[in-house]
């Protein structure tokens, strides 16, 4: 009898151990960010906090710098559940959820404060989540990536200087129309191909965060910048809907909570981090950056708003965002 009890106790311990091991999982996270940029630092902080709060039941393995391909490629892997989560920007998501084009509109967010206010609004958050719910995705958070400007292989001092230039944009109808409005040649290109494209003359410049001149060493091939502030591309933190079942309710709630924390923190910390990187690009890499009058750009894109006001797909979210700001389409 005593031998039987010992055997049963040993078996129970083994089962408990095996259950504990089964609960501990590593989740794949894809991004085209470097690990040491502003968003990368926040994501590392998120992973550390999740591991601590779940007692290592949830560990995050990052695939940085587009290791798993461009955003369009790994988005498909997230949808299918092959990759658990990742950062996918609003321009890429616009291709599968056209309603999100509203957040990509030029000059839709006049400041970081307004941007944060809009993205914290329960109605706006619910609407955006609804647009991707049937795609097997959850929008778990978002990262402020500061305003987007232009960097190029030739000096630019005004919006007029962009005319005829081949400017790399995201593969988004909104971004393509935005640059066509100022007679630039929008050239959709994957971010991983920007350096080579600039180096080989396939593109004259690119729109994006000027911090990339330092963080991605783009100043080596394109040292000129122009502050246009034409948009605020949102980097959404996207999770496969299959993840909740894998994690269980308790750990899943912790993950969502930690994503929300870095979302809020990004609204405070990212702009300052980006400005430091821009200053380093100027001081250490010889970048030359000009301010400019953006009025011509803003006037040129006014027809995009008139079009959106008549578009039943884009209009609802844009109206919700404008309502918060006290604006009308």
Q: Where are the domains of the chain?
A: 23-93+105-145+234-271, 148-232+276-325
pLDDT above 90: percentage of residues in the chain:
87
- Quick: pLDDT tens for 225-264: 999 999 998 999 999 999 999 999 999 999 999 999 999 9
- Quick: pLDDT tens for 154-205: 999 999 999 999 999 998 999 999 999 999 999 999 888 999 999 999 999 9
Task: Provide mean pLDDT across the span 132-142.
Answer: 95
The CA distance from 135 to 130, in Å, is 10
In whole angstroms, how far apart are CA 73 and each of 171, 221, 234, 275? 13, 26, 18, 30
Residue 5 pLDDT > 50, yes or no? no
Domain at 148-232+276-325: CATH code: 3.40.190.170
259, 170 in Cβ contact below 8 A?
no
Is the alpha carbon torsion for 126, 131, 135, 138 positive or negative?
negative
Count CA atoms closer than 13 A to 294's CA, side-chain side.
17
The CA distance from 145 to 96, in Å, is 21
Which of 125-134, 204-213, 265-274 is least confident?
Answer: 265-274
| Reported confidence tier of residue 1, pLDDT bands at 50, 70, 90 | low
How high is the pLDDT of residue 37? Answer: 86
How high is the pLDDT of residue 24? Answer: 87
How high is the pLDDT of residue 140? Answer: 97
Sheet of 137-143, strands arranged across: 58-63, 25-30, 85-89, 235-240, 137-143
| Domains 23-93+105-145+234-271 and 148-232+276-325 equal at CATH topology level | yes
How high is the pLDDT of residue 38? Answer: 87
How high is the pLDDT of residue 17? Answer: 44
How high is the pLDDT of residue 145? Answer: 86
Fold of the CATH domain 23-93+105-145+234-271? D-Maltodextrin-Binding Protein; domain 2 (3.40.190)
- Quick: pLDDT tens for 9-48: 454 444 444 444 436 899 999 999 899 888 999 999 999 9
- Quick: pLDDT tens for 272-286: 999 999 999 999 999
The CA distance from 252 to 53, in Å, is 11
136 secondary structure, DSSP code:
T
CB contact set of 206 (below 8 Å; sequence gap of 6+): 150, 151, 152, 167, 168, 169, 189, 194, 197, 198, 218, 222
CB contact set of 72 (below 8 Å; sequence gap of 6+): 92, 95, 171, 190
CB contact set of 298 (below 8 Å; sequence gap of 6+): 106, 107
């Amino acid at each position: 009898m005593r031998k039987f009890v010992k055997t049963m106790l040993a078996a129970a311990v083994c089962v408990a151990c095996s259950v504990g091991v089964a609960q501990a999982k590593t989740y794949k996270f894809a991004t085209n960010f470097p690990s040491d940029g502003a968003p990368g630092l926040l994501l590392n902080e998120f992973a550390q906090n999740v591991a601590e709060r779940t007692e290592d039941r949830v560990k995050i393995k990052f695939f940085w710098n587009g290791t798993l391909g461009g955003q369009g490629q790994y988005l498909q892997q997230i949808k299918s559940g092959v990759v658990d989560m990742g950062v996918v920007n609003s321009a890429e998501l616009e291709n599968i959820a056209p309603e999100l084009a509203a957040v990509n509109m030029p000059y839709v967010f006049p400041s970081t404060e307004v941007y944060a206010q809009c993205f914290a609004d329960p109605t706006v958050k619910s609407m955006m989540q609804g647009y991707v719910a049937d795609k097997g995705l959850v929008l778990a958070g978002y990262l402020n990536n500061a305003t987007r400007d232009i960097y190029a292989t030739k000096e630019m001092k005004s919006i007029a200087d962009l005319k005829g230039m081949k400017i790399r944009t995201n593969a988004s109808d909104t971004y393509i129309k935005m640059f066509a409005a100022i007679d630039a040649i929008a050239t959709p290109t994957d971010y991983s191909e920007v350096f080579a494209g600039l180096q080989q003359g396939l593109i004259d410049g690119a729109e994006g965060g000027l911090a990339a001149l330092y963080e991605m060493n783009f100043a080596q091939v394109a040292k000129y910048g122009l502050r246009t502030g034409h948009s605020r591309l949102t980097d959404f933190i996207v999770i496969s809907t299959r993840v909740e079942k894998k994690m269980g309710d308790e750990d899943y709630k912790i993950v969502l909570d930690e994503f929300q924390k870095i979302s809020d923190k990004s609204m405070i910390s990212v702009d300052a981090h980006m400005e430091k990187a821009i200053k380093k690009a100027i001081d250490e890499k010889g970048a030359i950056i000009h301010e400019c009058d953006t009025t011509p750009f803003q006037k040129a894109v006014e027809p995009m708003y008139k079009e959106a006001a008549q578009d039943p797909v884009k209009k609802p979210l844009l109206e919700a965002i404008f309502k918060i700001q006290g604006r009308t389409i």
